[in-house]
Amino acid sequence: MEREDLWKEFDKNIDLYKFYLEIVLKTSIFIFGITGAIVSYYFSNASKPLVELSLCLPLIMNAGFAYLCFKGASFADILDRDHDILSEELGTRIAFTFSPLHEVLRLFVVLYALVSISLGVILVTDIV
């Protein structure tokens, strides 16, 4: 590849990284907001019949996003490695790394999994 094409790819990778990080953070805010609202509704109306079923949606959402973040973390590693290789080809010293995306995804895997497990425990103990 020509040097100009490498720089275009370099810029594209940086834009892609920023986009992924932004999407992960915005999605997490949305998921935790929905989860908080439904859990708040559940605890304020715990005496009503079948209200525990309202916990199914946040449980499924959090479990699903835990899985997506888990799978996305491996993709973030690939993006980071590609960035390192491209930086070497361009002869630049890496002033930054793409590893924060991987770390944020791993953090959200843990958080989503903990929320899912907690909601599952609440759901099972109320049904039984």
Tens-digit pLDDT string for the chain (128 aa): 688 888 898 889 889 899 999 999 999 999 999 999 999 999 999 889 889 999 999 999 999 999 999 999 988 888 888 888 888 888 887 667 888 999 999 999 999 999 999 999 999 997 76
Q: Given this model, what pLDDT does residue 94 score?
A: 64
- Distances 64 to 58, 61, 69, 70, 112 between C-alpha atoms, Å: 10, 5, 9, 10, 9
Report pLDDT for 121: 96
3-state helix, strand, coil in the chain (%, to 5): 85, 0, 15
Instruction: For residue 69, give the nearest of 29, 111, 109 by alpha carbon.
Output: 109
pLDDT value for 128: 60
Q: Residue 61, Cβ neighbours under 10 Å: how many?
A: 20
pTM comes to 0.86
pLDDT, residue 80, reads 87
At 42 the pLDDT is 95
* Entry field: residues in the chain: 128
CA distance 69 to 23: 11
